[in-house]
């Protein structure tokens, strides 16, 4: 089955760090770009970060630049998001999403169910 499964969401205090993971299955993970998209509960969707197939091209939303780091391990069919200096406004469901090409394209043809990150003291 073609799917993405996120993990790592948790309740953390402001200023702390957290690492999210996304496990891909059912397709050739190494052949496609990957992204993280988040949704504040009750609000809309916000693209967070994207990475090309070989990690050669990476982009971040201004709201997370300098605090979040995206990475991937093609040998493990996995995508990661290292989140540092977390703020209360980072509280959201975080979705892993697959791009349509090797390079950084900007639409998402497969999504996971998300993992909840709550930043609160």
What is the binding site for other proteins (CB under 8 A)? 4, 43-47, 59, 61-62, 95, 97, 100, 104-114
| CB 47, min distance to other proteins, A | 5
Structure tokens at 30: 């190494």
Which is closer to other proteins, CB of 60 or CB of 80? 60
| CB 1, min distance to other proteins, A | 12
Which is closer to other proteins, CB of 15 or CB of 60? 60
Which is closer to other proteins, CB of 4 or CB of 117? 4
The residue with tokens 């969401």 is: 9
| CB 121, min distance to other proteins, A | 27
Q: Which among 120, 98, 111, 82 is positioned nearest to 28, based on CA atoms?
A: 98
Question: What is d(CA 119, CA 16) in angstroms, rounded to the nearest whole number?
Answer: 9
Question: What is d(CA 42, CA 33) in angstroms, rounded to the nearest whole number?
Answer: 28
| CB 94, min distance to other proteins, A | 12
Question: What is d(CA 109, CA 76) in angstroms, rounded to the nearest whole number?
Answer: 21
Which is closer to other proteins, CB of 80 or CB of 108? 108
Question: What is d(CA 7, CA 11) in angstroms, rounded to the nearest whole number?
Answer: 13
């Amino acid at each position: 089955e073609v799917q993405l499964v996120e993990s790592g969401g948790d309740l953390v205090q402001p200023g702390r760090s957290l690492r999210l993971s996304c496990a891909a299955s059912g397709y050739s993970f190494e052949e496609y770009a990957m992204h993280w998209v988040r949704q504040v509960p009750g609000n809309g969707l916000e693209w967070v970060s994207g990475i090309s197939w070989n990690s050669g091209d990476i982009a971040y939303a201004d709201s997370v630049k300098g605090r979040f780091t995206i990475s991937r391990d093609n040998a493990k069919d996995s995508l990661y998001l290292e989140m540092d200096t977390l703020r209360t406004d980072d509280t959201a469901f975080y979705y892993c999403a697959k791009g349509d090409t090797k390079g950084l394209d900007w639409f998402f043809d497969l999504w996971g169910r998300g993992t909840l990150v709550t930043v609160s003291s």
